[in-house]
Structure 1
Amino acid sequence: MINSKEHEYRDKTFSEPLFRSPFYDFFASKETEGNWYNWNGYKSPMILSDEELEYFSIRSTCSIFDVSPLNKYRIIGPEAEEFLNKLTVRNVVKQNVATVKYTLWCDQEGFVIDDGTLFRISDNDFRLCSQEKHLPWLIDTSYGFDVEIIDESKQICGLALQGPTSASILRLLGINEIDNLKPFHLFQTKISNMPIMISRTGFTGDLGYEIFMKNNVANKIIERIWRAGTNHGLTAIGYNALNMARIEAGFLVANIDFVSSDHAIRPNRSRRPDDLGLGWLVDLDKGFFNGKKSIVKSRLENLSTFKIYALEIDGKEPVEGSIIYHNKKDEVGTVTSAVWSPMAKKSIALAELKLDTSTSMMKNLWVEIYALKELQYFKLMKKVSIVKPPFINLARRSACPPDNY
């Protein structure tokens, strides 16, 4: 016979199949006509009120976004640096304490498993944040190293505070250390005697910070941040607004802009760092790391076929998922992410293309769009230009100290 507690657990599992972060009630209270989606098993907001207003809070005032669904792995031990140097493509020996590095990790064929951020908290204490779950891979790769790997994903939650007034809000909370905090640096402090870790990082290409804390102080901290932001345009946002900003910044998302190697069904769908325009991350001067031999071979033999490009497109019609052609007839790739950029005043996109480097091919690209007008679809061919990302470059992103408002 099933007891009452088991009944209660089963009922909750079916009625609430997705996890809820410690900030769920706060963000749900800000919803007016939004919708939600599944991010890594969590019920997360896609839109809370108005997508455009949420986007403009990132660029004009300040936004607050729940990053708790990120996977967070603590890697501790006397050989943590050595292990991470084997795992990732960057040279962890060169990473200073209290800094954050964007990085990749690959399989033995040099294909990208995922990207993420590596926080160096102390000499032998790191946190790796990623979009996908990788605990089994981390444990397998750590064989023979004196390290401890802890999945903190359910114990540590986080907020992204992004926008030009973000530093001013933190100053109102008494966190004046941010005046000297450079991009991709971190420090630990307290809000009302509650410990937090702040990094000058984000996914918007703007001035911004990410704040990590234990779940038990989450509600008190977000209440204080919200009150401090009352006169600084602080707005709760969902993923759609964040996605607009990250495309403007030229940032990639695994399994949207490229297929990670452990998700690829067909071998030719996997991509190496050079294919993603991220070859600059790879440090071939360091010792062995996963995929090094294959990456070197790919470069020597020019095995790269498809690459990620940043595009500007004539017109305003939506182009996401559209096919790119050379000379309007030869298919060369697909748009993976696209948006009309309010800041650049252009239609911009990221696309995976198979091109040679001839000028004639690079300058004769077209996108095929089917535009709906009066209940009828019309085929349009719009000119495409390859550009260098990011699509926008904001001086305030790296200003130190940031302006006060």
Structure 2
Amino acid sequence: MDNNLKKTPLYETHLKYGAKMIDFAGFAMPVQYESILKEHEAVRKSAGLFDVSHMGEIIIEGKDSDKFINYIISNNIAKISDNQAMYSPMCYANGTTVDDLLVYKFSNEKYMLVVNASNIDKDYNWIFENKSGYNIAVKNISNEVSELALQGPKAQEILQKTTEYNLDDMKYYHFDKINLAGVNCLISRTGYTGEDGFEIFLRNDYAQSMWEKILAVGEEFGIKPAGLGARDTLRFEAGLPLYGNELSDDITPLEAGLGSFVNFEKDFIGRDALFKQKQEGLKRKIVGFEMIDNGIPRHGYDVYAQGEKIGYVTTGYLSPTLKKNIGMALISSKFANIGNEINIIVRNKPLKALVSSKNFYKKNYKK
């Protein structure tokens, strides 16, 4: 493995647990420990613990913070209160996607953006380029903060064993600063798996002890350390987009089916382009599909219908939960109706598939 890769504070711990390491967005990250399938099943049935310290954290503070963030994201942060988080795309002027991110609101004058690892520098530069005229300070704290994600139906029971804070009081997409196992952390009821769970932000020097503590108290519940392989199969089954697959600087939030996170009642970068796209109708969109013929679809495979190329697969797997070959694809809108037959080109052979909902798995969030 490339020695120039960035390492999270848990790198040595991953090696101790037998992780298979890969290059992900310039970081040496665990793709799996025991197996992707077993880690996936642990999260669906009990709990899994992920190191997501490669994600970026950017603090925005100052008296114009709320105005500025509402200008750079498509969702409307006026709809959330202090200690609440919000998901949103962030767009270029042409409507395509800079990134999709979470906004954590501490107050009208202080926010944290949690951004994708592959986009940290790009996002920071984009924010910096657009902050002229706003009374704000921007700080990239990504290298100072570790992030763990505890996900699964047993996540609350496990985490409760480390704190006196009543986790029943923490609603979905809310957060608080609480003491976990003697360490001050920021905890949010968020995740990327389709299950209930928590994301834990803490100082780098406490990451290893927190990892070990959560795995120890979770042992009786069947917790497993989980890698990025299971994180991808879990988010995919739940119909959640991955930047670089279902979203990119070539794909708009509307094409990705994220129209509910685009608020046209306010001004934001990309609004005019997206409004025009909505008015004119989408020429292409992200759809789900299920294979009829036997073959596993993979990212980048071509999609055909009626003898013409209509798009490409953005994500595809043999679903560990559903035991079916399923995928998501960006295709021409005229073929996007549920039930339409399409062909996925697998090893130069056209294999039949049917367009389906992207929500392959019913999400189990605690609302």
| TM-score strictly above 0.5 | yes
Secondary structure of 1:38's aligned partner? strand
Summarize deviations over 1:163-192 as a string: whole Å, max 9, x none: 111111111112442112221111110123
**Contact preservation (8 Å) 1:68, 1:156:** yes
Corresponding residue to 1:323 among 291, 302, 311: 302
Corresponding residue to 2:357 among 388, 393, 399: 388
Offset, 1:83: 0.4
Q: 1-side partners of 2:235 and 2:313: how far apart?
A: 15
Q: How is 1:329-344 mapped onto 2 (pairs within 5 angstroms)?
A: 329-344=307-322
Offset, 1:275: 0.9
Q: 1-side partners of 2:88 and 2:2: how far apart?
A: 38
Answer yes or no: is 1:225 the counterpart of 2:210.
no
Answer yes or no: is 1:398 the counterpart of 2:362.
no
Q: 2-side partners of 1:21 and 1:221: how far apart?
A: 14
Summarize deviations over 1:227-270 as a string: whole Å, max 9, x none: 21121112111111111111101111111234x32xxxxxxxx2
Answer yes or no: is 1:50 the counterpart of 2:35.
yes
Offset, 1:358: 8.4
Greater Rg by CA: 1
- Aligned partner of 2:154 in structure 1 is 165
Answer yes or no: is 1:365 the counterpart of 2:324.
no
Answer yes or no: is 1:280 the counterpart of 2:244.
no
Q: How is 1:104-119 mapped onto 2 (pairs within 5 angstroms)?
A: 104-119=89-104
Summarize deviations over 1:92-111 as a string: whole Å, max 9, x none: 11121111111011111122
Offset, 1:366: 2.4
TM-score (norm 2): 0.93
Change (3 A) 1:310 1:220: same
Secondary structure of 2:88's aligned partner? strand
Offset, 1:335: 1.0
Secondary structure of 2:106's aligned partner? strand
Offset, 1:362: 6.1
- Aligned partner of 1:236 in structure 2 is 225
- Aligned partner of 1:271 in structure 2 is 251
**Contact preservation (8 Å) 2:165, 2:178:** no
**Contact preservation (8 Å) 1:355, 1:362:** no
- Aligned partner of 1:350 in structure 2 is 328
Q: 1-side partners of 2:25 and 2:329: how far apart?
A: 24
Corresponding residue to 1:379 among 344, 349, 354: 349
- Report the RMSD for the aligned CA atoms in angstroms: 2.0
Q: 2-side partners of 1:386 and 1:308: how far apart?
A: 10
Q: Which segment is superposed worse, 82-91 or 132-141?
A: 132-141
Answer yes or no: is 1:21 the counterpart of 2:1.
no
- Aligned partner of 1:402 in structure 2 is none
Q: 2-side partners of 1:307 and 1:29: how far apart?
A: 43
**Contact preservation (8 Å) 1:162, 1:204:** yes
Summarize deviations over 1:304-362 as a string: whole Å, max 9, x none: 322111112225521113322213x2221111111112322322101010131686x96
Answer yes or no: is 1:147 the counterpart of 2:136.
yes
Q: 2-side partners of 1:339 and 1:247: how far apart?
A: 9
Corresponding residue to 2:181 among 171, 178, 192: 192
**Contact preservation (8 Å) 1:170, 1:176:** no
Change (3 A) 1:51 1:364: closer
**Contact preservation (8 Å) 1:73, 1:151:** yes
**Contact preservation (8 Å) 1:316, 1:340:** no
Report how many aligned residue pairs link the two structures.
362
Q: 1-side partners of 2:147 and 2:238: how far apart?
A: 21
- Aligned partner of 1:300 in structure 2 is 279
Secondary structure of 2:173's aligned partner? coil
Secondary structure of 2:254's aligned partner? helix
Secondary structure of 1:276's aligned partner? coil
Q: Give the counterpart letter for 2:262 in structure 1.
A: V
Q: Which segment is superposed worse, 170-179 or 127-136?
A: 170-179
TM-score (norm 1): 0.85
Secondary structure of 2:219's aligned partner? coil
Secondary structure of 1:226's aligned partner? helix
Q: 2-side partners of 1:82 and 1:249: how far apart?
A: 32
**Contact preservation (8 Å) 2:285, 2:332:** yes
Answer yes or no: is 1:207 the counterpart of 2:159.
no
Q: 2-side partners of 1:65 and 1:363: how far apart?
A: 37
Q: Give the counterpart letter for 1:271 in structure 2.
A: I
**Contact preservation (8 Å) 1:333, 1:354:** yes
Could you list the runs of 5+ residues in structure 2 that have no partner in the other structure?
none
- Aligned partner of 2:242 in structure 1 is 253
Could you list the runs of 5+ residues in structure 1 that have no partner in the other structure?
1-13, 262-269, 371-377, 400-405
